[in-house]
A and B are shown apart, each in its own frame.
Chain A
Amino acid sequence: MKHEKHRSPRPAALAAGLLAILPVLAAAQQAAPRTPPTRGIFIEKSFPSIESGKWSGPRLADGQPDVQGHWSNTVGNHNNWTDPQGGIPGDPQTRNRKLGPRAERAPSRVSDPADGQVPFQPWAKAAQEDFLAHFFNPTEPKYIEPLARCAPGGVPKSFIWHGYEIRQFPGYVVFLFNSGTRVIHLDGKPHLPAAIKLWNADSRGHWEGNTLVVDVTNNNGKALFGRTGEFASENAHIEERYIFSADGKRYNYVARITDPTVYTRPWTATIPAVRYTAQDAPDGWHFETTLANHPKGEVIVERDERICVENNGGFGNVATGAPAR
């Protein structure tokens, strides 16, 4: 029994396994696009924009719009920041697979500028391309994607790395990510001193109707945006808007990113997300949950603890199905 338990899927195993699995899923999805967000991996090629405005949905006792629950992005993982369903350029497993026209895949997460590209300064563009060129043959530590070493996904990559849970409390919105935990402070206290730089930065937010507005500073810039190597520096300033739809089923994450060390101008990232509920089947990626053992059979969704560095035995562990210890 004990050994059986140890062999049950663990997040680290899943994380490493998906490195290989996701490009395939993204490719399969292009052939048979799925529309309803009800079962399995949910990937869409386009998504609605949501206007900021009044909130007419349920509220918590402290007045916050109630957006608690389980959420995940709808266009792809962090394989490719600007072409979310395009796979990792240079991937040996898909190198010979022909991608269709760009317009048949979800748009770039860079919604401004219009060309969908991060407005890198020349040195930064060269650094990003250098990272990508070495992604499949990381000859130096700097070419290893930090999330593969269990680093927190950071801002904004955490929103495209597995599903996550939002819990709300008076004065706080808390994100429980697959890799890392982020606390948004709503109580108006000042940011941490500038000398403190963090993987998940420091977040001060407030609600404007249906929109959670968050000011993000103290970012250490170490969490890359994706396997394609886009990045910011520790001088990044990120202004986030989480715009929730009236029916509470979706939100769009819209972030204005300013960093004079790395970019030629501010730019905007947009990431769509949907809510998963007990009506959806857990799929081990977007919706990683179990149902609670309630004596009267009440349907209650629960999230397992997330462990990574403790179990991170390298890709071979997973490939051979060896126990994680």
Chain B
Amino acid sequence: MTTTTTRRAFGLALLCATLATALPPLAGAAGNTAAKAPRAERIPRLANGKPDFSGIWQTTSAADYDLEPHATRKDAPPGPGIVEGDAIPYLPKALEQRRRNFEARNSADPRLKCFTLGVPRGIYYPEPFQIFQRERDLTLLFQFGHSVRTIHTNGTDHPKVPNDWWLGDSRARWEGDTLVVDAKHFNDETWLDRAGNFHSDALHVVERWRYLDANTIEYKATLDDPQVYSRPWTLGVLLHRHREKNFQLIENYCYTLDYDPHYPPKP
């Protein structure tokens, strides 16, 4: 018992030391009482006490180039992969489809048409997204395509008469300080990355969002799709808060690029 207590205290001291350097404003406000404050008070919170993920976020990983481990190639920097166990457990038939997708990736990736990226791809796509949060929901605004995903946190369930949405339908609950999102009712039009990893319209995603510290979110998503995978599998990335002065999203309606030179009339 004594050992445990000591360890915990030491851990807290370490944490405080880390936060003191990482977070001058918060640490300054907490001052000497910091040692007593539980870690949970160190993250932004809503008035109802739930973690407040508001902010502009982005991964630094190479996940969007290929979720699986890969050496460098002409169209992708190298990356260690973000899949637990390294390989996505495709059914044999689906593995063949993935191979065809990979061969055609430089023309068939829906991102090249600037189509909505889907879930979870929007989260680790290499452009920032912004979370706006209220008690009833989280609004995710993706710079790419400026598409909007709402994650409901107001006790509502998936709709009784669903559509097949590009971004699915997201209903969430809190497990302590972890936001657990159940997302389903997807279409089969989106890819998971530029390497042709894919899913069907039977995709079911369970996301887990939690703060590691006030400027870092640990994001995990478990994907289940009995038409494509032999078992559920999990990916994970860290999301970093953009803290550059005056940083903001810049709308990216890239699908207008082919025709926008025609407007407006010129003198």
A198 to B250, Cβ gap below 8 A?
yes
Interface residues on A, range: 35 or more
> How distant is A157 from chain B, measured CB to nearest CB, in Å?
12
| Closest chain A residue to B185, Cβ basis | A5
Report A152-177 residues with CB < 8 Å from chain B CB. Answer: 152, 167, 169-170, 172, 174, 176
Q: Which residues of chain A are near B160, meaning CB under 8 Å?
A: 293
Q: Which residues of chain B are near A6, meaning CB under 8 Å?
A: 164
Docked pose: A185 CA to B141 CA in angstroms: 14
Report A265-312 residues with CB < 8 Å from chain B CB. Answer: 290, 292-296, 298, 300, 302-307, 309-310
Q: Which residues of chain A are near B264, meaning CB under 8 Å?
A: 221-222, 224, 231-233
* Interface assignment of A25: CB less than 8 Å from any CB of chain B: no
* Interface assignment of A39: CB less than 8 Å from any CB of chain B: no
**CB-contact partner of A5 in B155, B164, B250, under 8 A:** B164
Q: Which of A190, A220, A261, A309 has the most CB of B within 10 A?
A: A309
* Interface assignment of B225: CB less than 8 Å from any CB of chain A: no
> How distant is B7 from chain A, measured CB to nearest CB, in Å?
38
A305 to B148, Cβ gap below 8 A?
yes
Q: Which residues of chain B are near A185, meaning CB under 8 Å?
A: 248
How many chain B residues touch A (Cβ–Cβ < 8 Å)?
49
| Closest chain B residue to A197, Cβ basis | B260
* Interface assignment of B107: CB less than 8 Å from any CB of chain A: no
> How distant is A195 from chain B, measured CB to nearest CB, in Å?
11
Report B166-207 residues with CB < 8 Å from chain A CB. Answer: 166-167, 189, 201
Known A261-B267, A305-B149: A293·B158 in contact at CB below 8 Å: yes
> How distant is B250 from chain A, measured CB to nearest CB, in Å?
6
Q: Mark B212-254, 1 if CB is under 8 A from A, else 0.
A: 0000000000000000000000000000000000101111010
> How distant is A225 from chain B, measured CB to nearest CB, in Å?
10
Q: Which of B162, B265, B267 has the most CB of A within 10 A?
A: B265
Docked pose: A176 CA to B149 CA in angstroms: 11
* Interface assignment of A180: CB less than 8 Å from any CB of chain B: yes
Q: Which residues of chain A are near B132, meaning CB under 8 Å?
A: 167, 169, 172, 174
Q: Which residues of chain A are near B167, meaning CB under 8 Å?
A: 305
* Interface assignment of A97: CB less than 8 Å from any CB of chain B: no
* Interface assignment of B115: CB less than 8 Å from any CB of chain A: yes
* Interface assignment of A81: CB less than 8 Å from any CB of chain B: no
Docked pose: A130 CA to B264 CA in angstroms: 12
Q: Which residues of chain A are near B150, meaning CB under 8 Å?
A: 302-303, 305
* Interface assignment of A249: CB less than 8 Å from any CB of chain B: no
* Interface assignment of B18: CB less than 8 Å from any CB of chain A: no
B259 to A146, Cβ gap below 8 A?
yes
> How distant is A224 from chain B, measured CB to nearest CB, in Å?
7
* Interface assignment of B106: CB less than 8 Å from any CB of chain A: no
Docked pose: A77 CA to B133 CA in angstroms: 31
Docked pose: A172 CA to B139 CA in angstroms: 12
B267 to A123, Cβ gap below 8 A?
yes
> How distant is A244 from chain B, measured CB to nearest CB, in Å?
19
**CB-contact partner of A292 in B115, B152, B163, under 8 A:** B152
Known A174-B139, A174-B141, A305-B148: A231·B114 in contact at CB below 8 Å: no
> How distant is A3 from chain B, measured CB to nearest CB, in Å?
10
Q: Mark B92-127, 1 if CB is under 8 A from A, else 0.
A: 000000000000000000000111100000000000
A305 to B165, Cβ gap below 8 A?
yes
Q: Which residues of chain A are near B259, meaning CB under 8 Å?
A: 141, 144, 146, 149, 151
* Interface assignment of B10: CB less than 8 Å from any CB of chain A: no
20 residue pairs from A and B, CB less than 8 Å apart: A127-B265, A142-B262, A149-B256, A150-B255, A151-B260, A152-B251, A167-B134, A181-B146, A183-B249, A196-B250, A221-B263, A292-B159, A293-B157, A293-B159, A300-B156, A304-B163, A305-B147, A305-B166, A307-B116, A309-B255
Q: Which residues of A contact B (CB under 8 A)?
A: 2, 5-6, 8, 61, 121, 123-124, 127-128, 130-131, 140-142, 144, 146, 149-152, 167, 169-170, 172, 174, 176, 180-181, 183, 185, 189-190, 192, 196, 198-200, 220-224, 231-233, 261, 290, 292-296, 298, 300, 302-307, 309-310, 325
Known: A222-B260, A261-B267; 6 extra A-B contacts, CB below 8 A, are: A174-B132, A176-B148, A180-B251, A196-B250, A292-B156, A294-B157
